[in-house]
Amino acid sequence: MNTIAKDIVQMTIPTPFLVGPINTYLIRGETLTLIDTGPKSEEALHCLRDKLKELGLNTTDIEVVVLTHHHPDHIGLVEEFYPQAKLYAHEKVSPWLKREQVFLENTQAFYKELYSRHGVPKEIRNKIEESTQGYLSYYPDRELDDFLKEGDQLNFLSGWSVLETPGHAQSHISLYRESDGVLIAGDHLIQHISSNAIIEAPYGKGEERPKTLLQYRESLKKCLHINTAFSGHGDVITNPTELIRKRLAEQDKKAYQFKQMIGSEEISCFDLCMKKYSHIYEKQPSLTFSETLGHLDLLEDYGEIEQVEVDGKIFYKSI
Ligand SMILES: [Zn+2]
């Protein structure tokens, strides 16, 4: 536990996920507000309780919980704060928390079609499906009390406002305090690893797939002016502007590496993914696929490559 600003305490909680421990933040403003909760596990719950106890607090003292995005390492313990604490997040967190049947079915159907059109073989598709179902078991059962959106001034924490920062997750928001340029960044910005711009299904009926890496880059550029970022994983980011410029440059570099790999071929996203991530794509198929498709979207946006459709399958070629 770590007091990182005069009224902000960072509490690091273990997770069973590959990403490692998560940072939650307690803001001691006019309300006692917890940003993110940690995953739904006994170990995480004990750890969070212990850390609050060291501050002379119980879970029942927390008055507001804000979630930065819908991933299970961030939201898993929300039931612990029911009913005394209000729960706020972007509205796109809601269908995950409520496990909305139609939404989950549409999402599943979207991935099935996407993976099939981009050349992912059936056994890998099944593996991804299994791990997604596994993740769903980490979702808690609770509804949001209200939604937060771009530009909202928090009436329970004066001086703080909401920045929508989609890209890593469609539901992602960050909290910004203008007086000292502090951003509670969730997984939008992490010092030691680049955030994956995870491919997600559209949330509205008939909408196109969001191009998550392009979105992510816009959300990064929105944060170039901040002074300090408190991240969902790892260290405090003391020079976020530099880190953001580095991330943007790395993405450009990676996109052109993909372009080189495409060469004069017509190649599917999945074949390109296997070529680039030959050692890890089997272990992490959905993350490596997202990474590949995101950079293909970027190259398309730059006018460097185009799609060709053959028998319902999508291939990419250089222009
Ligand atoms: Zn996340």
**317 CA to centre of ligand 1 in angstroms:** 31
**187 CA to centre of ligand 1 in angstroms:** 5
**296 CA to centre of ligand 1 in angstroms:** 22
- φ/ψ bin of 249: left (φ > 0), alpha (ψ from -120 to 50), beta (otherwise): alpha
Instruction: Calculate the dihedral angle through the C-alpha atoms of 44, 50, 54, 58, rounding to the nearest 10 degrees.
Output: 90
Indicate if the pLDDT at residue 1 is higher than 70.
no
Mean pLDDT of all residues in the chain?
96
CATH architecture of 101-132+253-318: Orthogonal Bundle (1.10)
Fold agreement (2-98+139-238, 101-132+253-318): no
Per-residue pLDDT of 81-102, as tens digits, reads 999 999 999 999 999 999 999 9
**285 CA to centre of ligand 1 in angstroms:** 17
**77 CA to centre of ligand 1 in angstroms:** 15
**311 CA to centre of ligand 1 in angstroms:** 35
**233 CA to centre of ligand 1 in angstroms:** 9
Per-residue pLDDT of 249-264, as tens digits, reads 999 999 999 999 999 9
- What φ, ψ does residue 221 adopt, rounded to 5°? -65, -30
* 181 — pLDDT class (breaks 50, 70, 90): very high
Indicate if the pLDDT at residue 136 is higher than 90.
no
**310 CA to centre of ligand 1 in angstroms:** 35
Q: Using CB atoms within 10 Å of the CB of residue 27, give its burial: 0 to 12 exposed, 13 to 18 middle, 19+ buried.
A: buried
How do 22-28 and 32-35 pair as beta strands? antiparallel
CATH number for the domain running over 2-98+139-238: 3.60.15.10
**232 CA to centre of ligand 1 in angstroms:** 8
Please report, for the chain, the start and end positions of each structural domain, with discontinuous segments joined by +: 2-98+139-238, 101-132+253-318
The predicted structure's pLDDT at residue 135: 84
**198 CA to centre of ligand 1 in angstroms:** 9
**236 CA to centre of ligand 1 in angstroms:** 17
Per-residue pLDDT of 19-49, as tens digits, reads 899 999 999 999 999 999 999 999 999 999 9
